[in-house]
Copies of this chain bind each other. A is one copy, B any other.
Amino acid sequence: MGTSVALKISGRNKLRGKVVNVTPGIVTAEVEVDIGNGNRITGVITKNSLDEMQIKTGDEVIALIKATSVMFIKE
Contacts and interface: CB of A to CB of B under 8 A. Distances in A.
- Copies of this chain, complex-wide, total 6
Contacts of A45: 10, 66, 70-72
Given A5-B5, A25-B26, A39-B15, A73 B44 contact: no
A43 B48 CA distance: 12
Contacts of A27: 23-25, 28-30, 44
Interface string A33-75: 1011101111111101110010100011111111111111111
Contacts of A23: 26-27
Interface of A: 3, 5-6, 8-15, 23-31, 33, 35-37, 39-46, 48-50, 53, 55, 59-75
